[in-house]
Amino acid sequence: MNSFLSSIGLLDIAVFTAVITTLVAITVLRPFALAINLIDSPNDRKKHEGFVPLIGGLGMFFGFLISILLTDIDLSQIKYFLLASFIVVIIGALDDHRDISVRYRFFFQISAAVIVSFIAGINIESIGNILSWREEILLNSWSVFVTIIAIIVAMNSLNMSDGIDGLAGLTSFFTLLALCYFSHVGGNQQTLIVASLMCAVILPFLYYNLSIGSSKDKRIFMGDSGSMFLGLGIVWLLVNLSQGEYRSFSPVIALWLFAVPLIDGTSTVLRRILIGQSPFKADLSHFHHILIRLGLNANLVLIIIVLFSILMIVIGIIGELNEISEWKMFISFIVIFIIICFLKNLLIYKNNKHNL
């Protein structure tokens, strides 16, 4: 108990350090990004004004890396996570700068996923009792494959949701906050440290991304490096906390904690495939695009989607605390997923018809 209380004190220092080092990193990286054109420019899909540095991911990773050295976490236990994070941050930054091909991006995403799953052994061994007529479903020999797919889906889902200021950052923050809670009640010191520091580094990013108390000239985006880093961190935490004898929540709750990016990304890719379009071709079929095309301003859209994300997270927490059957939580999630898919397609159809 004493060591656990001592670690909380160290964690407080590390969280403060994470915020400060991320702020410093962003400040230092800004002129460098402008000098080498590591920036995002407006186009048909991106309606922001001016050239915005894509340094949020680099700043957050730097803040996380420095601050975790101040904790008493056993780095040998997370060395492969750190390596995988470094890979996705670097390849994400290169993609932000040079717009590399989908093939190369997926190669490095798969490489990072293999490091976490196959080498580090962080795997989805069970998907729980999601079917009422049978016992717990164990993946056995499929475990590594399913985990690699889950990691890739998580990174790309968060990346695709990063379409308006604050969206990916805020949804990630609340997911990570929930993971802090589950880590705390479950007494999992390792995941508590990682989740807390990831929450901490998001705050300075949001300060600049949302232009809170600062000029819009200082605005930054997280870029692919940021969305992939956060996506990888979130799925690493979800797997760690939902598996094993001492798990903090059942596997199905992971769907609720990461609901908005997962539902939006998956439904968007499925729609593209069904209409014969490449699943990798960017379009205007995400939640935020649809609501903006309905005439809502970006700030209101941000509030609506973030509140929905919080609602899904709270339902997941309530379901776990009240020990609601896993199959009921799974069916409920699938029903919500189907309803949202229907509403998205209906609104897209109406928008397209209106624009004819």
Can you tell me the distance from the alpha carbon of 56 to that of 99, in angstroms, rounded to the nearest whole number?
17
Token reading at 139: 């993946």
Domain that holds residue 263: 2-355
Per-residue pLDDT of the chain (356 residues; tens, 9 = 90+): 455 545 558 889 999 999 999 999 999 999 999 999 999 876 555 555 668 999 999 999 999 999 999 998 999 999 999 999 999 999 999 999 988 888 899 999 999 999 999 999 999 999 999 998 888 999 999 999 999 999 999 999 999 988 899 999 999 999 999 999 999 999 999 999 999 999 999 999 999 999 887 777 889 999 999 999 999 999 999 999 999 888 999 999 999 999 999 999 999 899 888 888 888 777 777 888 888 888 889 999 999 999 999 999 999 999 999 999 999 999 999 999 999 999 888 888 777 766 65
- The 3 state secondary structure assigned to 134-188 is CCCEECHHHHHHHHHHHHHHHHHHHHHHCCCCCHHHHHHHHHHHHHHHHHHHHCC
Size of the chain, expressed as the number of residues it contains: 356
Contact by Cβ (8 Å): 265, 160: yes
What ranges in the chain are assigned the alpha helix state H? 2-36, 56-68, 75-98, 102-114, 143-161, 167-186, 189-209, 223-242, 253-257, 259-274, 287-293, 298-321, 326-355
Question: What is the spatial distance between Cα 217 and Cα 230, in angstroms, rounded to a whole number?
Answer: 25
Q: Give me the amino acid identity at 218.
A: K
- How confident is the model over 304-354, as pLDDT tens digits? 999 999 999 999 999 999 999 999 999 999 999 999 999 888 888 777 766
Number of folded domains that form the chain: 1
**Tokens (6 digits) for 70:** 């101040």
